[in-house]
Structure 1
Amino acid sequence: MVLTPLILDLIGVFFFAVSGSLLAARRGFDIVGSLLLGSLTGLGGGVLRDLILGVTPNAFAHPVYFLPPLLAVIAVYLFAPSVDSYKGTLLVFDAGGLALFCIVGTLKALDLGMPPVAAILLGMTTALGGGLMRDVVANQVPTLFDPKDIYAIPALLGAGLTALFWQLGFVNGWFQLGVATVVFTLRVLAMRFSWHVPKAVGPWHGNWAPRL
């Protein structure tokens, strides 16, 4: 089984774009706002990665990349569930995009000759960038900084596994599916059971906060 980077990328763009369009619907945006937020979410991380790599962003080199956000907007417009279930659906699609983009971003960086550590960081940038832009533009606390959730760790794990298996020569469709499944499962379980990492200040300090 072979999953080309283009296929993985387009599926990831669609998943992230759905999450952006769902958030737009939840915030009461019109359909133009839904398209813009969905496009930003689906394409933002990849554009940022490509600019860092010094190559023409895929979204501008291949117009087909604008099709998934358009399909996402139509899907949300026609089939979105009730408002009460938006958040759970949004997070599931966000987890799907995260799982695919950490693989695609890392592989592209490795194929362009970046060392493994840099490739892992760019894989995380690809996976986290769109969601971060989505939340900032929609004026809500980014999921990346939610103390009751883990977001960067699944992306780091997926990018790290991708770089490891690439070094070992095990890059194929089954490997990609396996890594994506691990990342997606970890992300969903973290949401389900409220897993989180320690805060910046130890719990023995109580509710201490610095005076700014």
Structure 2
Amino acid sequence: MSNKISSKSICERNNISMSENYKEYCMKFSNEELKKNMVEYLIKNSWDEKMIRFLSEDGDEIEIDSSKEIGTIVFDGNDENLFINFYGIHTSIFAYNVEMMFIDEDSKGTYTSSDVYNNVVYEGNLREMSHEEMLRMFSEIILCFIDAETVTMTQSSVPENKYKKYNYYEPHEFLVEVKNGHTIEKRNIYENITIQY
């Protein structure tokens, strides 16, 4: 089973406007947005609420309704093999030994090959998406890692001019393979990232 998921299809499915006008980094999410558009969505889709932990930007354990800004959400309790970090300039999903980076394209020109080395880098246009759309996409990606035992990544070259080139690194296509013991294999595609699980 294969799903191609783009910002447009998420938008159409959820009847959301395509664009927000970002004056700063496009991934400055409030705690309320994270609760409503990520945590509640994951729980509705069978994620165990008891396994979700929230950390401040300083790494302190906090509640979701805290006045402190959430910097990290951990999805597997104390194991910490699956979590998401919010930096504003980019968001990273860590699944076992694989980091998936979603970088504000207005800042991509400052990232070097060493910044993204051995990481999965999303090449879709985040600035065309609302916060709700971004958080829904991140949530759908996280759901691919339910019951994950191992996660591996393969990187391949892309045809010339398929994605915008930035100053210091080349875009690639990525296959993320999740071993989870499920009998039915699924495949989701997020622009240049394919997740097989």
Which structure's residues are more often helix, by fraction?
Answer: 1
Please identify which structure carries the higher strand content. Answer: 2
For the criterion TM > 0.5, the same-fold answer is no
Structure with higher Rg: it is 1
Q: With the length of structure 2 as denominator, give the TM-score of the two structures.
A: 0.28
